Structure 1
């Protein structure tokens, strides 16, 4: 390489490294958010499956809700800021179902979308 080409190559490599280093934080956050949203969705799905397998069993509702709340709290502990807050809100929602109140299952199920929306909003 001639000296001007070498300088251009070094400049291009430096610029590329700077751009990738700057974007890395945003990419890392996006990956973390996707993981958080995916895990939260999995917890909600497991809870829904437990409810649909025996929808009249108050004990099963309480147990599934406690398990979901604990898993969501554990997940929230891995994050900070708005993502953690959204996950903690979701955990609190599951905790309200630990009493086994079958009458509030439908209402809570509709709130589940709101929790998911909060998590997604925290990631954007």
Structure 2
């Protein structure tokens, strides 16, 4: 796996960690947050698997990133408010991953702590 692919895999793992560490307060919100967490984990695991199989095709990284962004947008559409906003922000990070502009992708990934804080606040 090349260094950019490793960074992408680490970012995906970070998103999964953000989803798993999101704590939820109210019972209805807890159910939403748990469901979102499980879906994000599934989506990012699929993304990581896609990166592993994209070793010889850099454009496959972009395709996998866009597919992941689309899945996250669909997931965000099931929810409201800040929770939907946080998931949409994650989708934006994946949309920014372009093989010919890894600096843009790296910059977007730098926003992951902010996105995680937004998700935690939405579930708190």
Q: TM-score interval w.r.t. the shorter chain?
A: 0.5 to 0.7
Output aligned runs, 1:1-124, within 5 Å.
26-97=26-97, 99-101=98-100, 103=102, 107=106, 111=110, 114=113, 115-124=115-124
3-state secondary structure, aligned to 1:78: coil
- Which stretches of structure 1, 4 residues or longer, exceed 6 Å deviation after superposition? none
RMSD of the alignment, in Å?
2.8
State the TM-score, normalized to the length of structure 2: 0.65
- Uncovered stretches (5+) of structure 2, i.e. residues with no partner: 1-24
- The 1:74–1:90 alpha-carbon spacing in structure 2 relative to 1, beyond 3 Å, is same
Larger radius of gyration: 1
- Uncovered stretches (5+) of structure 1, i.e. residues with no partner: 1-24
Figure out how many residues of one structure are paired with residues of the other and give that number.
99
